[in-house]
Amino acid sequence: MASKDYYELLGLQKGASDDEIKRAFRKLAVKYHPDKNQGNEEAEAKFKEINEAYQILSDPEKRAKYDQFGSAAFDGSGGFGGGGFDGFDMGGFGDIFESFFGGGGGSRRKNGPARGSDLEYTITLTFEEAIFGVEKEISVTRSENCEHCHGSGAEPGTNSKTCPTCGGAGQVRVQRQTPLGSFVSTSTCDTCRGSGKIIEKPCSHCRGKGNVRKTRNIKVNIPAGVDTGNVMPLRGQGEHGQRGGNPGDLYVRINVAPSKVFTRKGNDVYIDTHVSMAKAALGTEITVATVDGNVKYSVPAGTQSGTMFRLKGKGIQRVNSSGKGDQYVKVIVDIPKTLNKEQKEALYDLMRASGEEFDEANAPKKKLFGKNK
């Protein structure tokens, strides 16, 4: 018999820890389990191999023999010749098989109270609505408990009976024989559709569903300072629960339209303001738009184009908090694209006064008493 590399079968290196062995077996057992690969002989053979590898490597004594003599130490022992489940130690993995393959799950009832589903709603605000806060009314369509039968699904005055197929469990168990042994899986009962009860006379309003679709108008108080991407949870405004379960939540996602004046970055706002070349050189007082209205600001003499000034506390309110961000004002110095004769003469006079070199012969002559000199 060819030697088997049990570590390789589990995708491990020699010297792997007990936890690593368990995790590797868990992963492979889920992948190759017969219930997930019905009729796949290759997967069945693989499952037998990883089962065998785990039985050896999870037992300290057997592992020590394997590490010393290899799989030949177990040839002819009969321990794995049949490859079945006889003697197979679940080793704490019962929850894994139950989770993925339904073993033992039939005792779990799925007809108890069920929480309603959450809903999402996207609302678009103007820039001003977002920074100052606003009350909005939104229209939401959701599943609600039927008011006629109060969510029972049965016509008032009538009763429901326990499902004869599942005995009220809402699930049925199916036992199957495989070459590896007997497996039990669970599935939702087709007779009662998992409710565990049979309604003899369905509600005339909801037709036995216990819920109806309704559109509701809900008022939403949006605080000042919200921004695109913010989410407001409205507890209990989602789908109604089933069989007495709590309702879900409604999540309102915020989308803010851009401003034509301001650029927003967090709680700060940015704005560009233009000044003439002369005013930037001499200094001037400008009017700056802020989210709270216009303010005056003194631009010092010699301000260069691109200079950024900060107006502290003139930004956007922090959501559900005190304090505001700042406003940043970027000064853009406008250079005239065309000049008239007087403007050109004035600039040449400025260059002369500054001692700058230029082609004097082609420059306008300096005026004296209104006539050319």
327 is written with which tokens?
């406003």
Number of Cβ within 10 Å of residue 164's Cβ equals 10
Contacts of 216 (CB under 8 A, 6+ apart): 139, 140, 141, 142
Cα separation, 347 vs 305, whole angstroms: 19
Residue 149, annotated as binding a ligand: yes
Backbone torsions φ then ψ of 23, nearest 5 degrees: -65, -40
Residue 30, annotated as binding a ligand: no
Residue 189, annotated as binding a ligand: yes
Contacts of 73 (CB under 8 A, 6+ apart): 65, 66
- E strands, 36-145, in order: 119-125, 134-145
Residue 124, annotated as binding a ligand: no
Identity at 322, one-letter amino acid code = S
Residue 103, annotated as binding a ligand: no
Residue 154, annotated as binding a ligand: no
Backbone torsions φ then ψ of 116, nearest 5 degrees: -70, 160
Q: Calculate the CA 328 to chain-centre distance.
A: 33
Residue 166, annotated as binding a ligand: yes
Residue 146, annotated as binding a ligand: yes
Could you list the residues known to form a binding site for Zn(2+), using ranges: 146, 149, 163, 166, 189, 192, 203, 206
Could you list the residues known to form a binding site, using ranges: 146, 149, 163, 166, 189, 192, 203, 206
